[in-house]
Chain A
Amino acid sequence: MAVKLATAGLSKTFGKGGIEIEALRDVSLSIEEGEFVSIVGASGCGKTTLLRILDGLIKASSGSVRVNGKEVVGPGPDRAFVFQQDGLMPWRTVYGNASFGMEIQGASGAAIRKRASDFLRLVGLSGFEKLFPHEISGGMRQRVNIARALAVDPDILLMDEPFAALDAQTREIMQAEMTRIWQETKKTVVLITHQIDEAVFLSDRVFVFTARPGRLKEEILVDLPRPRNLSIKRTVEFVTITDRIWRLIEEEVREGIQREQVSAAAGAA
């Protein structure tokens, strides 16, 4: 299969008032067309920074991002971003929000009407078109968020902890919905998440990142059969993979705490 998205030697350092924070160091990833990958890691490992660089919302300090072999210089119609806070316009209805991206990208009125209702149906929101965001639940808002991103027909969907703010049950349902949507649309997806089981359940591969600065620690292949349903989470194979990722992250968190203690002790001395 063809490589859809590739990064080479990606690094990012934030400078704020003389204090420099290194968020990412030398990240090289290669993601194939139609692949679902997740990035997991301890808090503050630069996961979201990486995703924003992939979208072109911020620029890397060094290294490059290529989509279909072309260098990324800013946001483009080949990628769509699903935000953690749903980012719905409160003055637009469900339908209006689903159309937002298409409107911005200058789609024709007929195309907007067709695609908005198609994708609202795909995410299970037919019949809710006229409601405003404050009238629907958090799970429904995230569905609109996903429909808005899919409606512009991107090659790659970049998802930044899209289900983090949802309650446990709704999150499980959204995970099941997401595999279905992915199977139907065949998009390439990069998902950032804190939930290891979510990453394993949805992905073909999981990238485990180190604590700050974020580097690729290990790449885990998830060779579970597809299509998957939620019951797979109780199989031995699933638990084995989840466990392995847990241990990798635990290592990082422990080392992080030790480093902090050492530097605190050094500061005290």
Chain B
Amino acid sequence: MTDKVEGVGRAAPSRMWRMRGFPGPAFLRGALSIAAAGVLWELAGRYLIKNRLFFTPLSAVFSRMAEMWSEGTLQTDILASLQTFVVGFLLGAGAAILIGVLMALSTWARDFLDPWISALYATPFIALAPLFVLWLGIGLAAHAAVVFISVFFPVLINTYSGLATTDRVLLEVAHSFNAGKRQVFLKVRFPSALPFIITGLRLGVARGLVGVVVAEIFGAKAGLGYRIVISGNSFDTAGLFVGIVLFAIAGVISVELLKLIERWLAPWRLQSAEE
């Protein structure tokens, strides 16, 4: 039985490698790239664009960040934006997954909702932000609503198409064992849709972060988006960059968190894509 060994030796060690999050060469090269960009930023800020109104070196951004931290405004802003994002994202993604599941389970729900989704998918809902602020007032409700609507569609579309494109062979396997509708859903369709749902969540994170900025631009009392607007209006370019840098960091953290979740929930997909 020679066919036993070949398949095993190849994939198993690389999997262990990735599960431990070992900083491999890919990670090191990525870190080097970020560090180089930081150096370039610093040099450009010092020697290329000297007008501090247009650009500031990275070191000035960090010292402004420290200043805002000691004033206490940075903590308030981060907390406000984080709250907006978490509430909007969780509710939006949760609702989207539920409705995606409903559409996959019931032809009636699918036919009823499908035209709306086709019509509304490409609509820039971010444009509703001022309306939400008008309806719900300046505060968490309006801001989270903007994030909600930004996250909702990408997650819904991916959940639905993941559930709708289950491998026919796998469905037939379940059918041949006489599986009921519920079992087919729980044991075949949903697990096979998980990688799609996670892709939807990843898109949702990106859209949701845009949602936070836009919502706060249209009226807020605190938050990183609000800080960007205030800094811009008061010619505090370093302060403006503080907001941008923090949003970039938030994006990286969220995407990495989702990768961890994917590795945990859908390890088969990640590996087959990398092999």
Flag if B178 contacts A87 (CB, 8 Å).
no
- Given known contacts A87-B170, A140-B4, A134 and B271 CB-to-CB distance under 8 angstroms: yes
Q: How far apart are the CA atoms of A105 and B175 in the complex, in Å?
A: 11
Q: Which of B2, B173, B179, B268 contacts A91 (CB 8 A)?
A: B268
Asked if A44 lies at the interface with its beta carbon under 8 angstroms from chain B, I say no
Flag if A57 contacts B175 (CB, 8 Å).
yes
Count the A residues whose beta carbon is within 8 Å of the partner chain — how many?
A: 35
Q: How far apart are the CA atoms of A263 and B187 in the complex, in Å?
A: 48
Flag if A132 contacts B178 (CB, 8 Å).
no
In chain B, residues 9-32, which have Cβ atoms closer than 8 Å to a Cβ of chain A?
Answer: 10-12, 15
Flag if A105 contacts B4 (CB, 8 Å).
no
Asked if B119 lies at the interface with its beta carbon under 8 angstroms from chain A, I say no
Flag if B177 contacts A87 (CB, 8 Å).
no
Residue in B closest to A130 when the chains form the complex, CB atoms: B12
Q: How far apart are the CA atoms of A184 and B194 in the complex, in Å?
A: 39
Flag if A87 contacts B172 (CB, 8 Å).
yes
A81, A90, A105, A170: residue with the most chain B Cβ atoms closer than 10 Å: A90
Asked if B234 lies at the interface with its beta carbon under 8 angstroms from chain A, I say no
Contact segment of A10-18, A33-41, A70-78, A217-225:
A70-78
Q: Does more than half of chain B's interface fall in helix, strand or loop, or is it mixed? A: helix
Asked if A255 lies at the interface with its beta carbon under 8 angstroms from chain B, I say no
Q: Which of A80, A133, A135, A139 contacts B176 (CB 8 A)?
A: A80
Flag if A134 contacts B275 (CB, 8 Å).
yes
> What chain A residues lie within 8 Å of B1 (beta carbons)?
124, 173
Asked if B8 lies at the interface with its beta carbon under 8 angstroms from chain A, I say yes
> What chain A residues lie within 8 Å of B3 (beta carbons)?
137-140, 170, 173
In chain B, residues 23-72, which have Cβ atoms closer than 8 Å to a Cβ of chain A?
Answer: none
Q: How far apart are the CA atoms of A152 and B179 in the complex, in Å?
A: 13
Q: Give, as a whole number of angstroms, the nearest-CB distance from B113 to chain A.
A: 28
Flag if B271 contacts A83 (CB, 8 Å).
no
Binding site for B on A (CB under 8 A): 55, 57, 74-77, 80-81, 83, 85, 87, 89-91, 100-101, 103-105, 124, 128, 131-140, 152, 169-170, 173
13 more contacts with CB within 8 A, not counting A75-B175, A76-B178, A132-B267, are: A74-B178, A80-B176, A87-B169, A87-B170, A91-B266, A91-B268, A100-B187, A103-B187, A104-B187, A131-B12, A134-B275, A139-B3, A140-B7
